[in-house]
Each structure stands twice: as C-alpha cells, then as structure tokens.
Amino acid sequence: MEAFKINKSSKIILLIEIIFPIVLLILGIYNGLLQTLYRSGIIHGNSFLGIEYYQGLTLHGVINAVVLTTFFAVAFGNALMMFYLRKQLNKFTNILSVVLMVGGTLMAALAMLSGKASVLYTFYAPLMAHPAFYLGLALAVVGSWVAFFGWIPLYTSWRKENPDKKTPLAVWGMLSNFIIWFFASASVAVEILFFLLPWSLGWIEGINVELTRTLFWFFGHPLVYFWLLPAYIMYYTILPQVAGGKLYSDKAGRLVFALFIILSIPIGTHHQFMEPGIEKGYKLIHSILTFGVAIPSLLTAFTVAASLEYAGRKNGAKGLLDWMFKLPYFDKNKYLFAYGIIGLLIFIRGGAGGIVNASYSLNATVHNTGWIPGHFHLTVGGPVFLAILGLSLYMITKILGKEVKYKTLNLMVPYFWFVGLMIFSTGLKMGGLEYGEPRRTNMGLSYLNMGGDSFEPFWLFTTLTTVMGGIIMTIAAIFYFITFFGTLFSKSVNEGGVVEFPVAEAYHDEPNIKPVNKLLPWAIAALLIIAAAYYGPIKNTLDNTLTKSPTYLPSSPVPHTH
C-alpha cells in the first residue's frame, strides 16, 4: 500500500502530537527513577531538587500513563485514518483537538509543578487538587473526543464509497478503541465536572468519596485497554509483515477488538474489592467479567504466534520450533519488530499477573502492596510503552523524511528495557506478595530510613532489586531520547510529508459478513452490559456511604476546611 501525502496542517499537528509528549516523557522518566531511589531508602527526605515525593509520583503517573498514551493514541489514530481511508483530516476538528489537548495538559502541568496537585494520576477524593488540574485533564480528554468525532465523517464517507469492502483492520481496531475511550471517559467527565471541580472551587462542601472512586474506576480500568489496543493494532497489522509473513486470521483480529468493546468497561469494581460500601454480589459479577477479558488476550496470543510461525517458515525454518529463531530480532532496519516482540513477551507476564488481581482472595493479599505497580509496569510499561516508542520514531521518519540515527542504539532500547523491567517488576512483586511491601509510601522517609524508628530491613533486598531495574530502564530511555532527538534534528533524506505503515496481508482472509463488520451492534451491546453491571454499584455508593466527607490535602493528615 502506497504512502499517503498529508497536508501541511496535518503534518504540523501530527508532529506536535508526537513530539510534545516525548519531551514531557523526559520529566516522567526522571521522576520514575527518583521513585525507586525513595523506595529503597537511598533518598531519605521528602523532596529532591525541589520536587516533593508525591508531587514527583503524580508527575510520573500523569505524564507516562495519561498524557503520553492519550497523545499517542490520537496521533496514531490520525495517521491510520489518513493512510487507510486515503482522506485528509478535517482541519477544524484537527486543530481544535490539539489545542484542547495541549492547553489542558499545560494547565494540569502547571498545577502539578507548583505543588498544588499532588494527588497521583488516580486523583482520588478526598485528596483535593487545584481546580486547574481537574479542568486541564477534562480539556485534554475532550480534545481526544474531538479527534474521534472528526474521524467518523471520514469513515462513513469511505464506507459509502466502498460498500462491499471490509473496514481495514487497523481502522476497525482504532475505532473500537475510541468507542471504549468515549464510553469510559464519560464517567470521569461526570466525576470532574459535577463533583471534583465544584468541590475544589469551594462551591460544594464535602464529597461522596466512594461514588467518585466508582466513577473513576468505571474509567480507570478500561483506560488500560485504551492504552493497550494501539499496541494490539501494531501486533495484528504491522508486526507480521515486518517479520516477513502474514496475519494468520483477519476475523480473529476483528473479533478481539469487538470483544474489548463489550468487556473492557463493566469490570472496574474489581479495583474496589476492599471497599465495604459495594455489595459482594456486584463484586463477583465484575470479577467474572474481568476474567472474560482474558479471552481476547488469549485469542491474540494464538493469532500473533501463528502469524510469526508463518513468517519464520517463510524465512527458511523447517523444524517444529526453529521458526522462533528465523525472525528479525536484531535487524536494525526492522526495529519495529524488536519493539513489538519484546512488548509481547513482557505482556505474557503482565497478563498472568492480571488474573491474580481479578481474583477476590488473591487481590486481598496483594492490595495496596508493591505487587500492583509491579503488575502495572508489566502492562503499561511493557507492550504499551514500547509500541509508543517504536511507532513514534517510525512516524517521525515518514513525516519529516528522515533516516533513523544511531540505529544500533535504537535496537538496544527494547532489549535494555526488557532486562530492566523484569528486574524492576520482580523486586516490586516479590516485595508485595512475600513481604507486604506497601505501594505509594515514601519508604525512604519511613521504613527504609536506617536512622528512623520504623526501619524495616527485610524490605531492603526487594527495594534494591527495584532500583537496579529502574536504573537499567532509565538507561534504555536515555538511549531512546538520543535516537529520537538525533533523528528529529538530522537532515532530511527525502521530501517526507507522508504517513505510511507496513501492512500485513491476511493468510486467512475470511468472507465479509456485513452485520459482524459493523461496530454499532457491539457498541449497543456494550452499553446494555455496562448498565446491568454498574446499576448496583452506583446505587450502593449512593445508599451506603457518606455524601459529605471532609477534604484532605496531600500536605496534611487532618481534614482541610475552606
């Protein structure tokens, strides 16, 4: 499939959507390293170089898990729509989207950098942030909606022009992703606009903590799939071609994305197993539905593995397993394969840990321990992060007509990241599961401060393991920044100004079944399941909990009054 020439405004906006979050990522990675140093007791204080502990933790979470992922999803979606549908984006919606996202991010960033929004990326009540933080996040979310709304006329126009064709799988996947995003983020918009923002402005006194937490997790868990599905699109539509083969089954890919539409959202209460206000029967329903998400993940494991086996055999493999050794792991010109396959390997471990989190009794053991961030980094910090890094670099080369600089360094990024992340997550998960090592706590100021009364030496080994992994991950990130900015500021080798992706043909290109090839029925089914799954928990939070809990600020252990 030929490259698609994009217009000037799309070129500028795509560059902003890719470069802006990568610049912020430098701050996010720096604060991630600091967190490991705090946890191990290497830093004993409450701040380092002017950034306080919870301020840094908030910056790390918001930049890496919210800003980077959302900007990338919109940029990747914009590029895919233009490439596969062969149409220019609407200029007005494109500009409005990026203005809202950048403006909202800067508002939230100012609140965080000024120390007035140290409420972590989950921004739970009763911790209160400055109104600019909430408003900034809301604007950034609305900006991503605008981008999505701008794709719909392009898609319907393409659909009319091509009534008998299947929707390109990458477009199907990206539209599925933004349906999930729109449904899920509607709840956090309600949380912010009707509760957190008026409360922060002093317009209402007190807040229903459990209701706002339920609204957050309505959004917070599907947020994981919003991060993950762009990586899945890479695995289905790009990776098999880069490996030298074909996608094993087109239908399997469509089914996986559709299943995520109906299963991603009605599962958030598994994050609230320990909260007494919600009845256990509803928690069981959400637990069972959470296990259901394993189905599209297992389908993906089979389909991608079969696709790569086909590629290995096309590359000369003859035996039972030697196809695994005929793939381009170390081909510098096919670096997307390394970013993709390493992300997949990491996700095997991350997905297995997710089954633990979905189980009520096991969840009770690991709840609020280091296990949770260990698991979290194996999902968001593994396949999602590496897909974003690899594809951001790839899109930059096409848009600006560049060659990747420092190709060996670039190829080392996913492998260094893999080694670092395995060590890092082992320290966190072992510490949480075996020794009850707490999450979020500034352990350098408390349990791992050798001069303090609460020093606990049995957490030294696991936290130092985490530091070792964190240092290796930081080295990998530095390698990436050198490659990315080296490429960005190098001389162009061609005209650029295009979007282009490797396109994996389907080995089994199943017939087009029109009712199945429409997203609307899947979206309606999702709404019905969401309504059934969330009616009870929402009612419980209205009936069983305080509606005017006092406010807390991160700087004080006692309630705050206006």
State CA 261 to chain mean position distance.
Answer: 16
C-beta of residue 326 within 8 angstroms of C-beta of residue 381:
no
Q: How far is CA 250 from the centre of its chain?
A: 24
DSSP structure string for 274-289: T-TTS-HHHHHHHHHH
Contact 338, 394 (CB under 8 A): no
Handedness of CA 144, 150, 153, 159 (dihedral sign): negative
CA dihedral 103, 109, 110, 116 (to 10 degrees): 130
221 is catalytic: yes
> Is 440 among the residues known to form the active site?
yes
**CA–CA gap between residue 394 and residue 79 (Å, rounded):** 12
Residue 77 near residue 151, CB atoms below 8 Å: yes
Q: What are phi and psi of 458, to 5 degrees?
A: -70, -5
Q: Is 377 tagged catalytic?
A: yes
Query: Of the listed 44, 130, 221, 349, which one is catalytic?
Result: 221
Q: 539 CB contacts (<8 Å, ≥6 apart)?
A: none
Among 440, 455, 461, 552, the active-site one is: 440
String of DSSP letters for 57-74: HHHHHIIIIIIHHHHHHH
Q: d(Cα 320, Cα 486) in Å, to the nearest integer? A: 42
CB atoms within 10 A of CB 491: 7
In the block, residue with structure tokens 């990024």:
413
3-state secondary structure 313-336: HHCCCCCCCHHHHCCCCCCHHHHH
Contacts by residues 325-332 (CB-CB < 8 Å, ≥ 24 positions apart): 327/243, 327/244, 328/242, 328/243, 328/244, 330/411, 332/407, 332/408, 332/410, 332/411
CB of 396 closer than 8 Å to CB of 498: no
Catalytic residue among 225, 282, 447, 534: 225
User: Of 4, 377, 394, 534, which residue is the catalytic one?
Assistant: 377
Q: For this structure, is 375 an active site residue? A: yes
Count other C-beta atoms under 10 Å from residue 519's C-beta: 17
Catalytic residue among 439, 447, 479, 501: 439
How far is residue 435 from each of residues 383, 424, 472, measured CA to CA in Å? 28, 16, 24
Write down the catalytic residue from 72, 84, 376, 501. Answer: 376
**Structure-token pair, residue 341:** 């396959």
Which residue bears the tokens 């990241």?
A: 417
Choose the catalytic residue: 133, 226, 375, 424: 375
Q: How many residues does the structure list for the chain?
A: 562
Catalytic residue at 225? Answer: yes
Supply the residues annotated as catalytic: 221, 225, 375-377, 439-440
